[in-house]
Structure 1
């Protein structure tokens, strides 16, 4: 027989063999023993955690006549047939390739026929979230009221994509990621059974790279065995997984914290030349920084999770490194990890990341706000501190016995802090009037409806400025925005990049490009009143010209066009007409 992968050979055949899912296996065994099984189950969880294996074990156990404590015997003809995949009454379907309505209708038509060999007909639908909406609807009624001898087991890695109507008709079991210790023990057991030599640290590297999936761990172990000629060594495990030793991580971070950019860049280049995976390298650095932070607060947690690999150099490094620097490094690493997902030049991002890390660690959090603080604000803070100090001295003098009112009043009054008044922003009235002349209520409603989406797509500094702005009037290709704070309005007027970003988002959402006009909101009433007066005068002048040869108009005639224009801009439910 040809060679089979480890995860196929060592696939669990009993509930006791499922690693890391004790709660689920105990519940299913008890249901089988007490004969309180459901007609439909939903197994959710990450890949390689035992969902499909549990489904097949359940199918064997419920059809096994020699089951004991809810476990299948794996010796009867039914158990052997299900294990070999040749029992017609246990149907395994891959929803990724059979996701149409016709496939589900075929199941619905055949489900009413009794099983031919086993006691129960079991349908195992893997990756059920891939079914189309029509397929889910076709499955719904059958799933709710199947025949008495039919059981559905649905397996998925993305339960949020399954309709709630399907989930409510099943018993849901959430499979969790398998712990590092459980993965290690399982791999040790398999290697001992195969009588293969292994390095404990190599298994730790494999278990860490598997990220909680037993199938992934056994696949990587299989690859290491093939590479190392049936021997598991640390070097082979590091080479296959693309991981980095903790000593290499320690050396790199030490160079970063010592601001030795050149040495850190040489280390990165050496790691890449040795074939290390850039994404795995950043992941290892993040986890190493995380371990340093946790060790500073709860050493026992790190020692338990790392299975005793914490050495003296790690402990000294954790004690000598400030938590603030670790926070900064994790932020930079996370940012670069996100950027590397969309590039083919990962080595460039690693080098840029190295320079950022060495520079970021030179600035403490206490220095950062001062460096970005406005100079005028610093001066005002110093004046306020001086005023507080003077007031404290006066209060102490007043509280001394024998102090008279004359003495108190004779003290030098603190110098009042003079604040430079904010200059009133000069508004381009012609641009504002241009928006108002073409403005419609429908355009304003369209902009208002997507305004929150526009803000959510802006960068955080841009969002902070635009969060105090709101649409005042809108034309097909123009938008008037009012700012609650004048100084933010001034910043927005001077920030061309911000205007481009807002315009781009509006164009994406509404399909047209807008010209933006910014005004302080405290000037809006004055501007609007001036525009209405101008419009009123223009209408009266036009009316007087056209009616000079006719009968004099009534008092309400010149007002009607003005009301119509106001209704057009602001809406009939807002405009109210009052007769003098």
Structure 2
């Protein structure tokens, strides 16, 4: 006899709102409608597959007919609830529009809807995959959906909201079902594993979340496959054997290879993984999450942010610069966004990581080089403090002091020789693989033969040409100032730059003004002889502008492109400060509205501008009032702060954890 085995997603389909995973916002609204008996006659549930649209529809259909509702939740004991749980409720009609999508089926509903319900108060019609209805069927449904009998309730569910006619959408109360959040999905899987007597590791749960892309049904199907091949414990190796995903150790090893510049190891791993059928979409997502934790830890030094990683996993990774980790995350995100679900994801992801190798390696080398230069500078200062009485050159790697009757130039030469000695000692101490890549002094150690004293000081100074100039340290400090500013303001909310404002600026852009503003910003960070900043005070004050690109300038507006979204946010926050703006306006000799955007938004702007131009729909340039613009920003921020304070105060008064305000 064949046993009728139910899938996990059917066995553990939730029967009450309390058993649902996620969708708290949707549940709260529906429960409130039930409590206050203010039930909408037509609901539209839209969202990706496997997020619970049909389950919520069934629970709501059961709840509206429950004869003993308790605070908006069905009792599960009355006749209506029991019949609904057994799929035998006479007043609930579930229709699959994928196979019943014609006009005749909708006419059947219209004829049936007029009759009264058998047991409950409502006749509920659940139309799944409603976007599959034909145009004629939608037209036939319109009048019934707009003015149904008082006892009729329609629940429409779709995975393709864009295909629903606007005439249908306008007659429904719409609920958007987002992907199930990670915590809710993992908690649900843990509960099911416990019920089925299986042990499952956190690493496996994380990987199932990535594989399912927030779909609980997909996650349960994956879990069911794992239960078939395992007896009582589900580990990462069994998951890897079925779906070929990378283990945490492998992902950390890849990041370490990027930091160390081990391109061969990266290529070898990818080629092997591609041959075994790895899902590179999942791989990219999990790499991004690991890098996110690294960045959080580097910014805060707080172990509480490490949920995937442990402190031992950070031995190599934490040596990488914060800027290089941001760049790596950008490259991975771009690769994932461009190639998700395509056949080129393997190639593009590999290329993006190899591109990151150079970036990360250069940043790390720059950090090490800066440290070397700083140490060298300290020793040079000490050497120059010495009172050199005399000097004598030898050929035995020794610089000896001679009698005090030496010329000023000879004294300078002696200082140079001692500098060279100090440089050599530092390089000997830091003679590791990484340091060799960063800086090499053009001398022989320890068999170097010292140049004769008669050679000019200029000739001797050429020995130091390969050593980074002190300006590197100064510019590095500017980048560090930026990072500290970003960290300090990370919890603040900045205003967003509207696309319409940027398009308006581009329409009225003037090249001569752009060159003027770009030259002015560049002058703040100008260096003299490659050794010092010409305007160190301005460079420090305007450090948020360091390395920005002036894209376009109109009579009243400046568009600035930043390296990343963090710098763009920092500039937006700084520009909200009136005193900071006045200092900039003084530098520009004119008031401007400044729009800081990141690279990704700039790409979107170019696409939008091109589309408008092709359609001949570009707007006429409208000159903006600078004072009004920034006063409007300040007013909006003040209103939001007051609203937030009001909500927080109300929450304390009523002893509520969370208050949600509708539109």
What is the deviation of 1:55? Answer: 1.0
- 2:182 pairs with 1:184: no
Q: SS at the partner of 1:201? A: helix
Distance 1:294 1:103, change over 3 A: farther
1:482-497 aligned within 5 A: none
1:323 is matched with which residue?
A: 322
Q: Decide whether the 8 Å contact of 1:55 with 1:153 is kept in 2.
A: yes
What is the deviation of 1:107? Answer: 2.0
Equivalent of residue 171 in structure 1, options 170, 173, 181: 173
User: What whole-Å deviation, never above 9, does each CA across 1:169-189 have from its counterpart, x for those lacking one?
Assistant: 222333333222222222222
2:51 is matched with which residue?
A: 49
Q: What TM-score results when the alignment is normalised by the length of structure 1?
A: 0.58
What is the deviation of 1:164? Answer: 3.6
Q: SS at the partner of 1:96? A: coil
- 2:14 pairs with 1:15: no
What is the deviation of 1:93? Answer: 1.7
Distance 1:265 1:175, change over 3 A: same
Q: SS at the partner of 2:81? A: helix
What is the deviation of 1:13? Answer: 0.7
| Bigger mean CA offset, 328-337 vs 188-197 | 328-337
Q: SS at the partner of 1:154? A: strand
Q: SS at the partner of 1:68? A: coil
Rounded to whole Å, the distance in 2 between the matches of 1:319 and 1:288 is 12
1:106 is matched with which residue?
A: 108
1:64 is matched with which residue?
A: 66
1:1-150 aligned within 5 A: 1-150=3-152
Q: What TM-score results when the alignment is normalised by the length of structure 2?
A: 0.51
CA RMSD of aligned residues (A): 4.0
Equivalent of residue 261 in structure 2, options 259, 262, 287: 259
Rounded to whole Å, the distance in 1 between the matches of 2:234 and 2:93 is 38
1:412-451 aligned within 5 A: none
1:224-263 aligned within 5 A: 224-263=226-265
Q: Decide whether the 8 Å contact of 1:95 with 1:127 is kept in 2.
A: yes
Q: Decide whether the 8 Å contact of 1:295 with 1:318 is kept in 2.
A: no
What is the deviation of 1:312? Answer: 1.2
1:414 is matched with which residue?
A: none
Q: Which has the higher contact order (CA 8 A, sep 6+)?
A: 1
1:355-374 aligned within 5 A: 355-362=354-361
Distance 1:71 1:238, change over 3 A: same
1:291-440 aligned within 5 A: 291-297=293-299, 303=304, 308-317=307-316, 319-337=318-336, 340=339, 344=343, 347-349=346-348, 351-362=350-361
Rounded to whole Å, the distance in 2 between the matches of 1:80 and 1:342 is 43
1:404 is matched with which residue?
A: none
What is the deviation of 1:273? Answer: 5.0
Distance 1:317 1:156, change over 3 A: farther
Q: SS at the partner of 2:156? A: strand
What is the deviation of 1:63? Answer: 1.7
Q: Decide whether the 8 Å contact of 1:64 with 1:72 is kept in 2.
A: yes
Distance 1:313 1:106, change over 3 A: same
Distance 1:198 1:89, change over 3 A: same
User: What whole-Å deviation, never above 9, does each CA across 1:371-417 have from its counterpart, x for those lacking one?
Assistant: xxxxxx99xx99x9889xxxx9xxxxxxxxxxxxxxxxxxxxxxxxx
What is the deviation of 1:7? Answer: 1.0
Distance 1:84 1:333, change over 3 A: same
Q: Decide whether the 8 Å contact of 1:220 with 1:241 is kept in 2.
A: no
Q: Decide whether the 8 Å contact of 1:202 with 1:238 is kept in 2.
A: no
Q: SS at the partner of 2:200? A: coil
Q: Decide whether the 8 Å contact of 1:95 with 1:130 is kept in 2.
A: yes
Q: Decide whether the 8 Å contact of 2:328 with 2:360 is kept in 1.
A: yes
User: What whole-Å deviation, never above 9, does each CA across 1:533-571 have from its counterpart, x for those lacking one?
Assistant: xxxxxxxxxxxxxxxxxxxxxxxxxxxxxxxxxxxxxxx
What is the deviation of 1:362? Answer: 4.7
Q: Decide whether the 8 Å contact of 1:19 with 1:182 is kept in 2.
A: yes
Rounded to whole Å, the distance in 1 between the matches of 2:34 and 2:345 is 52
Rounded to whole Å, the distance in 1 between the matches of 2:144 and 2:325 is 55
What is the deviation of 1:149? Answer: 0.8
What is the deviation of 1:151? Answer: 0.3
1:437 is matched with which residue?
A: none
Q: SS at the partner of 2:93? A: strand
Rounded to whole Å, the distance in 2 between the matches of 1:178 and 1:337 is 20
Rounded to whole Å, the distance in 2 between the matches of 1:385 and 1:246 is 45
1:555 is matched with which residue?
A: none
Equivalent of residue 151 in structure 1, options 153, 164, 170: 153
Rounded to whole Å, the distance in 1 between the matches of 2:324 and 2:180 is 32
Q: Decide whether the 8 Å contact of 2:42 with 2:153 is kept in 1.
A: yes
1:559-570 aligned within 5 A: none
Rounded to whole Å, the distance in 2 between the matches of 1:42 and 1:329 is 40
Q: Decide whether the 8 Å contact of 1:40 with 1:143 is kept in 2.
A: yes
Structure 2, unmatched stretches of 5+, are 367-471, 473-517, 535-601, 615-663
2:642 is matched with which residue?
A: none
User: What whole-Å deviation, never above 9, does each CA across 1:273-328 have from its counterpart, x for those lacking one?
Assistant: 5553233223322333333334433566x955x6x333114444553222332344
Rounded to whole Å, the distance in 2 between the matches of 1:282 and 1:271 is 13
Q: SS at the partner of 1:148? A: coil
1:213 is matched with which residue?
A: 215
Q: Decide whether the 8 Å contact of 1:89 with 1:118 is kept in 2.
A: yes
Rounded to whole Å, the distance in 2 between the matches of 1:49 and 1:345 is 28
User: What whole-Å deviation, never above 9, does each CA across 1:55-75 have from its counterpart, x for those lacking one?
Assistant: 111111222223333333334
Structure 1, unmatched stretches of 5+, are 368-376, 393-458, 472-580
Q: SS at the partner of 2:155? A: strand
Rounded to whole Å, the distance in 2 between the matches of 1:298 and 1:166 is 50
Rounded to whole Å, the distance in 1 between the matches of 2:106 and 2:296 is 50
Q: Decide whether the 8 Å contact of 1:303 with 1:309 is kept in 2.
A: no
